[in-house]
Amino acid sequence: MDTEYLIKKVRMEKIFGQYLKELRLSFKPKKLSQKELGDSINSTRQYIDAIEAGRGSVRAPRYEHLKKLIDLLNLNEKQSEKFLRLAFKERIKGNWDLYIHLHKEFSIE
């Protein structure tokens, strides 16, 4: 397997989780906890922690849960678009080669 591909794949796996953590910790007037995020989508603190850490086979939440997180985090349009784009990339990582083949102009950068 191509080394450059593996580097991009690992980087992609962590980007969504890092962005979620950044948004959670920068929430005003006070930071949101992982438990609060998990509760908002009927999940757990451990699930949010695994997403933020980019651990294992944990995937980004489904679209309806992403919308709840967007509302809870009070994201503006630009933040929401980035949040959804990164989540989409995370969810398709197992089919990345197929996606690239079908959408040659799409870039992970």
pLDDT in tens, 57-82: 788 899 999 999 999 999 999 999 99
- pLDDT (0 to 100) of residue 69: 96
Q: Whole-angstrom Cα distance, residue 63 to residue 50?
A: 18
pTM, whole model, 2 decimals? 0.74
Nearest to 91 by CA among 73, 66, 72, 67: 66
Give the per-residue pLDDT at 81. 94
d(CA 101, CA 44): 36
Given a cut of 70, the residues of the chain with pLDDT beneath it are 1-14, 56, 94, 96, 105-109
Instruction: Please determine, looking at this structure, whether the domain spanning 3-102 carries the CATH number 3.90.1150.10.
Output: no
- Please report the sign of the dihedral spanned by the C-alpha atoms of residue 95, residue 65, residue 51, residue 22: positive
Nearest to 73 by CA among 43, 36, 45: 36
Tokens linked to 55: 């651990």
